[in-house]
Amino acid sequence: MPKKIVAPINYTARDFETIKDSLVEYAKKYYPDTYKDFNEASFGSLMLDTVAYVGDILSFYLDYQANETFLDTALEYKNVVKLAKQMGYKYQATPTSSGEVAFYALIPANSAGTGPDEDYYPVLKRNGSVTSDNQTKYLLTEDVDFANPDNEIIVAKTDSATGAPTFYAVKAFGRVISGELVTEYVDVGSYTKFRKVELTRGSNVSEIIQVLDSSGQEYFEVDYLSQDVIYKEFKNPTESHRKFAPKVIKPAIVPRRFVVNREPGLTELQFGHGSESDLSSDLIIDPANVLLNQTGKQYITDTSFDPYNFTTSDKFGIVPVETTLEVIYRINSAANSNAPVGAINAAPDITLKFKNEFNLNTTKTAAVRGSLEVINEEPILGNLMFRNSQDIKARAAGAFYSQNRAVTIQDYKTLVYSMDTKFGAVSRCNILLDQDSFKRNLNLYVIAEDFSKKLAPANDSIKQNLKVWLNKYKMISDTIDILDARIVNLGIDFSILSEPGVSKGEVLQRCFLALQEHLKLTPEIGEPFHIAKLYNVLNNVDGVVDTTGIDVFQKTGDLYSDTFFNVKQNLSPDNRYVIIPKNVIYEIKYMNDDIRGTIK
């Protein structure tokens, strides 16, 4: 019986050439009498090429799949998002813009002519819609009461004969958020554990407003299915306190709940696997019994206590069965929902309510409705540029280490970036210890983006939401001041030497495109401006022999920031970079105008 040949296999051969070489050597060594024709045009060479080709493809996909399992090396956007979510990053596919708008209405004068008739003060109901010049829609996030004593009132019309006021103009303010409401009905069949419901407008969903079943039972959104406590807002019962605190917050147990799973192009609701019968066993936990757990043992154990889980059920909430879900959610379909001052100027879908309207004069109420106007006196900000893979990877690393508390500077920055975009968003932030404070005061510097994707100060609504957001996580001894980062607009002059015989115009155009590509990413607040990197970018352009000079200077004027910054005094000792203060961010605002070059 012939002896079996045990041939060593070269496992390091992974690409086409090395695999083929290994196969050829294998054939020469072990089959010298069977196969001798190694000509490139032979049939045997074709078979070796085929096997090497298949091996090369398999090696490629093996490496590719291995890379896609780690956040640092993943390339596909969907995989980056999934890996980032595992580290605690909250993916938001459709950023939201928010801000404040002013409403104007003409209110009839009272019989004495001493002021507006209070019976004709309207209330603008929340979720009403206003629009901007480019037809982007915004929703009211709160009721706007024209009876608020803080509203501005002036005489608008007078009687031509007597001069007595007939109408007063009243100005009231309300907060708006970008988007429009969509209602979707989803039929749910038999019992399914951890049921998932996919929304048809998943790529544009910004926020789930309400989920109801056929019997009117409401399901509430939570961060994770084991969380059964949420905080609901109610009208403040103490009338004298409503001016400063119109709403009060109370905890509520929610056995019917869901989480929202977001991925690129997908939004779905996921429920638990409990049933209606579990409600009878969902007893409220006594914290004393949880923290001090003593049974038959002769000692006491210290049990962990989750302040967001107060029920004894482990079914992760009730799953809907044999019903129809009514899902109301807000979508943002506009490519850019930011708006400059004065862009919001129409209120096509606002509901006005009057107290005791049946007793009022219909002509006067119609006049109030017809007089309603709206305008935004400050920019509507928050919508950010598309989050690329590098941004998500950086945010995910911070989310993993923050662990829902703010201790380090990176914790604070991560929490700022992770605030739900329905409350607005900032482009960049930095936090510094206030050197002038005797206490542990922190200065949080933020910057947003305007409607044209240029840096702009964050509006008061975003800052107020940031304050509330950070209060949930910050150390009890920390105090935070939220401030605007200063913007410094820079310009660049460069000169290059081109190769002989090339088109100088084409080389110069390639230099402009290379610099624009290099500078397109928004820097961090306090990040230095590296001049040396510009030399490297220009020298790598085809047709450039050498970069003979680069001059960086500040751009000033009506279109630029009014921050004074001396570039020359802030150059590093070796002139390789510009030192940017920690509360300042630089910007090349207009790439086509602020970058100039000459060629020799």
Please check whether residue 181 is in contact with residue 209, taking contact to mean a CB–CB distance below 8 angstroms.
yes
Residue 18 token pair:
């090395």
Number of H helices, E strands in the chain: 11, 31
Per-residue H/E/C for 233-286: EEECCCHHHCCCCCEEEEEEECCCEEEEEEECCEEEEECCCECHHHHHHCCECC
Distance separating alpha carbons of residues 183 and 200, to the nearest angstrom: 11
Q: What is the pLDDT of residue 307?
A: 56
Please check whether residue 303 is in contact with residue 226, taking contact to mean a CB–CB distance below 8 angstroms.
no
Q: Which residues partner with 429 through β-bridges?
A: 446
Mind listing the pLDDT tens digit of every residue in the chain (600 residues)? 555 556 667 777 888 889 888 888 888 888 887 777 778 778 888 888 898 999 999 999 998 999 999 888 898 888 888 888 888 777 777 778 888 899 999 999 988 878 899 999 999 998 899 999 888 899 998 889 998 888 999 988 888 888 888 899 999 999 898 889 999 999 999 999 899 999 998 788 888 999 999 999 999 998 888 888 777 766 667 666 555 456 665 677 888 999 998 888 888 999 988 877 666 544 444 555 444 455 555 555 555 545 555 555 567 888 999 999 999 999 887 777 888 889 999 988 898 999 888 889 999 999 999 999 999 988 888 766 567 787 788 778 776 666 667 788 888 888 888 787 667 778 899 998 887 776 778 899 999 888 778 888 888 878 888 888 888 788 888 888 999 999 999 999 999 998 888 888 899 999 999 999 899 888 999 999 999 999 999 999 999 999 999 999 999 988 899 899 999 999 999 889 999 999 999 999 999 899 999 988
Instruction: Name every residue whose Cβ is closer than 8 Å to that of residue 483 and which is 6 or more positions away in sequence.
Output: 443, 444, 445, 446, 583
Q: What is the pLDDT of residue 88?
A: 77
Please check whether residue 117 is in contact with residue 110, taking contact to mean a CB–CB distance below 8 angstroms.
yes
Specify the pTM.
Answer: 0.63
Distance separating alpha carbons of residues 261 and 223, to the nearest angstrom: 10
Q: Which residue do the tokens 């119609």 mark? A: 366
DSSP-H helix ranges across 388-472: 389-402, 409-418, 460-471
Segment (H or E) for 198: strand 196-198
- Bridge-based pairing state of the strands 229-235 and 123-124: unpaired
Segment (H or E) for 67: helix 43-68
* 3-state secondary structure (DSSP) of residue 360: coil
* 3-state secondary structure (DSSP) of residue 594: helix
Q: Which residue do the tokens 């190694």 mark? A: 38
- Bridge-based pairing state of the strands 218-221 and 205-212: antiparallel
Q: What is the pLDDT of residue 328?
A: 93
Q: What is the pLDDT of residue 245?
A: 55
Closest CA to 552 of 600, 510, 587: 587
Instruction: Report CA Rg, the chain.
Output: 32
Distance separating alpha carbons of residues 492 and 540, to the nearest angstrom: 18
Closest CA to 594 of 556, 564, 558: 556
- Bridge-based pairing state of the strands 479-484 and 441-449: parallel
Burial class (CB in 10 A: 0-12, 13-18, 19+), 109: buried
Q: What is the pLDDT of residue 396?
A: 80
Angle between the 77-86 and 389-402 helix axes, to the nearest 10 degrees? 10
Distance separating alpha carbons of residues 117 and 367, to the nearest angstrom: 13
Per-residue H/E/C for 498-537: ECCCCCHHHHHHHHHHHHHHHCCCCCCCCCCEEHHHHHHH
